[in-house]
Chains A and B, each alone.
Chain A
Amino acid sequence: MNENVLSVTGLRKIYGEKIAVENVSFSVRRGEIVGLLGPNGAGKTTTINMVLGVLEPTAGKILIEEIDLARHRSKALTSTNFAAVYAPLPGNLTVAQNLRVFGLVYDVKNLSARIEELLKEFDIARFRDVKCGLLSSGESARVNLAKAMINQPRLLLLDEPTASLDPSMADEIRTHIRSIATRGEVGVLWTSHNMQEVEEVCDRVLFLSKGRLLLEGDPKKLPAEHGKSSLEDLFIAVAREPLTLGTKP
């Protein structure tokens, strides 16, 4: 069995004359959490949208569990799921209703039992009949994660899952995602602007700048390799002086 749940090769996206993503290649292995980092507008969300099949690449190939997304979109996305702050679940449905609807969308077997498991696992059973629009940010984040796990995905895409959460709630979410990854079946692609969080959670990071993949490596070692004292300093350098850091071959 191939260890990669996601393989991206030569990904490119051009809007008119603007290059949003240029020749990006990377992979995510099972049980691995990969941080996709970069300043605003670096191409992180564009990359994630292409992996989710809602944005067509201008060039490049995306394989999810070795299935070509461009050719077998539905099959490839069966083993994928995501949570993003900019894609909240419909606020006019309750937690249980949303989980049921998306469970059907992902064609989950024994759906009622799976919903019960998730309500328990994410400690949201008491919100079962509460409309998602009435939940706090932390509660919403947990419900979004429950929805993201409904189909027991092999590839989990998390676009700033802890943004706008208080430190305690963010820590809870991080711990939970870490525990999901350590079970060994799920590969996670994670974007965040919180470098401390990235250092704590991610096994590997990819730095994007102006649509190009600039650096890749262990978040604990990468700063020193580039003469920086912390990941945050490295991030700032990527954002302000990307040319001084060179481009990943």
Chain B
Amino acid sequence: MINPRRSFAVVLRYLYLMRGSFSRVMPLFAWVAIDIVLWGFISKYLNTVTGGLNFVPTLLGAVLLWDFFIRVMQGVTMTFFEDVWSRNFLNFFATPMQISDYLGGLIISGVATSLVGLIAMMVLAGGFFGLSFFSIGIALVPFLLTLFVFGIALGVLACALVLRLGPAAEWFIWPIPALVSPFAGVFYPVSTLPRWMQIVAHALPPSAVFEQMRAIVAGGAASGAALAGAFALALAYLVLAGWTFARTYRYAVRVGLIARYSAETVS
């Protein structure tokens, strides 16, 4: 059972940090804005050289959704890293706080920060490049929701990895979206990939999201079954990630890693 006040403590701590820190607030907008501007102009250029084709929804739409997914994941991990950087584990975990309270706080922080990024991207993409997701309407919800849940799952899994391996493992986390992207078929159909990569792609919920989004952009309809399957898969990953974090935490308590986290290892 989650204690909302304890989860809120994790969120509030992050809000306090954001409130007074330009260097924390800026990345919420800066990288997504750069991506939207860059891919917006690339899309416009491709429109002019190919004549008749509109790359804005295909390329820019894909970039927007992918960036949203990355923001969700990083929103969760950044909140966790704040505890790593300020060596706050002992203060938080030597309290009545339970893992569910803590993860709840990480997820709410991730949700809040990623929504800020999503709104910024939508405003930029719509205002400057004419990309409107509003034409898709309510049908967009399952796409975003699947990316959202999978982003949270990867974020929680990344936190478990850093909890287990120590602060230096932070550097494993940043490239995770780049490692996933070739398999996710962000810019091309999964059928483009070799067979073994397709197998991996089908195990990743974002691949279905981008496949179905391409179907809509091409004037067709999205497969409800494919989206439902992707969402169920994302939920399964979330459960697995939560379980992994809880197991890692129990391991850390057993071997004394929480109390001596800065040592990175207890052996």
Residues B13 and A74 in contact, CB atoms below 8 Å apart: no
Distance from A121 Cβ to chain B, minimum over Cβ atoms (Å) = 20
The chain A residue sitting closest to B93, CB to CB, is: A54
18 extra A-B contacts, CB within 8 A, seeds A97-B16, A101-B13 = A15-B256, A53-B93, A53-B94, A56-B250, A73-B96, A73-B98, A74-B97, A81-B95, A87-B90, A90-B13, A92-B86, A101-B16, A102-B95, A104-B6, A105-B96, A105-B97, A106-B96, A107-B96
Most A CB atoms within 10 A — which of B3, B8, B86, B250?
B86
Residues B258 and A90 in contact, CB atoms below 8 Å apart: no
The chain A residue sitting closest to B253, CB to CB, is: A56
Q: For chain A, what secondary structure do more than half of its interface residues adopt (helix, strand, loop), or is it mixed?
A: mixed
Q: Does chain B have a CB within 8 A of A137?
A: no
Which residues in B have their C-beta under 8 angstroms from that of A105? 6, 9, 92, 95-97
Residues A104 and B86 in contact, CB atoms below 8 Å apart: no
A residues sitting closer than 8 Å to B (CB atoms) are 15-16, 45-46, 49, 52-56, 73-75, 77-78, 81-82, 84, 86-94, 97, 100-102, 104-107
For chain B, the count of residues having a C-beta within 8 Å of the partner chain is 31
Q: Please tell me which one of the listed residues A87, A91, A101 contacts residue B9 in the complex, with CB atoms under 8 A apart.
A: A101
Interface residues of B in 69-115 (CB under 8 A from A): 82, 86-88, 90-98
Which residues in A have their C-beta under 8 angstroms from that of B90? 52, 54, 84, 86-87
The chain B residue sitting closest to A100, CB to CB, is: B12
A104-B9 contact, Cβ under 8 Å, with A87-B91, A90-B88, A92-B17: yes
Bound: A100/B8 CA distance, A: 11
Q: Does chain A have a CB within 8 A of B5?
A: yes
Interface residues of B in 3-21 (CB under 8 A from A): 3, 5-6, 8-9, 12-13, 16-17
Interface residues of B in 223-267 (CB under 8 A from A): 250, 253-256, 258-259, 266-267
Most A CB atoms within 10 A — which of B6, B9, B94, B255?
B94
Which residues in A have their C-beta under 8 angstroms from that of B88? 90
Residues A91 and B259 in contact, CB atoms below 8 Å apart: no
What is the total of A-B residue contacts with beta carbons within 8 Å?
86
Bound: A81/B94 CA distance, A: 8
Distance from B41 Cβ to chain A, minimum over Cβ atoms (Å) = 38
Residues B98 and A74 in contact, CB atoms below 8 Å apart: yes
Residues A82 and B96 in contact, CB atoms below 8 Å apart: no
Lowest 3 CB-CB distances: which A-B pairs, in order?
Answer: A104-B9, A52-B94, A90-B86
The chain B residue sitting closest to A147, CB to CB, is: B91
Residues B5 and A90 in contact, CB atoms below 8 Å apart: no
A104-B17 contact, Cβ under 8 Å, with A15-B266, A55-B256: no
Distance from B3 Cβ to chain A, minimum over Cβ atoms (Å) = 6
Distance from B212 Cβ to chain A, minimum over Cβ atoms (Å) = 41
Distance from B108 Cβ to chain A, minimum over Cβ atoms (Å) = 13
Which residues in A have their C-beta under 8 angstroms from that of B95? 77, 81, 102, 105-106
Which residues in A have their C-beta under 8 angstroms from that of B254? 56
Distance from B229 Cβ to chain A, minimum over Cβ atoms (Å) = 37
Bound: A150/B266 CA distance, A: 32
The chain B residue sitting closest to A81, CB to CB, is: B95
Distance from A5 Cβ to chain B, minimum over Cβ atoms (Å) = 16
Bound: A54/B88 CA distance, A: 13
Bound: A59/B97 CA distance, A: 23
Most B CB atoms within 10 A — which of A16, A49, A82, A84?
A49
Residues A55 and B259 in contact, CB atoms below 8 Å apart: yes
> Can you list 6 A-B contacts with CB-CB less than 8 angstroms, sorted by A residue number?
A55-B259, A73-B98, A74-B97, A93-B17, A104-B9, A106-B96
The chain A residue sitting closest to B8, CB to CB, is: A104
Residues B12 and A104 in contact, CB atoms below 8 Å apart: yes
Residues A54 and B94 in contact, CB atoms below 8 Å apart: yes
The chain B residue sitting closest to A109, CB to CB, is: B5
Which residues in A have their C-beta under 8 angstroms from that of B86? 90-92
Bound: A82/B95 CA distance, A: 9
Which residues in B have their C-beta under 8 angstroms from that of A75? 96
Which residues in A have their C-beta under 8 angstroms from that of B253? 53-56
A54-B6 contact, Cβ under 8 Å, with A101-B13, A106-B95: no
Residues A49 and B5 in contact, CB atoms below 8 Å apart: no
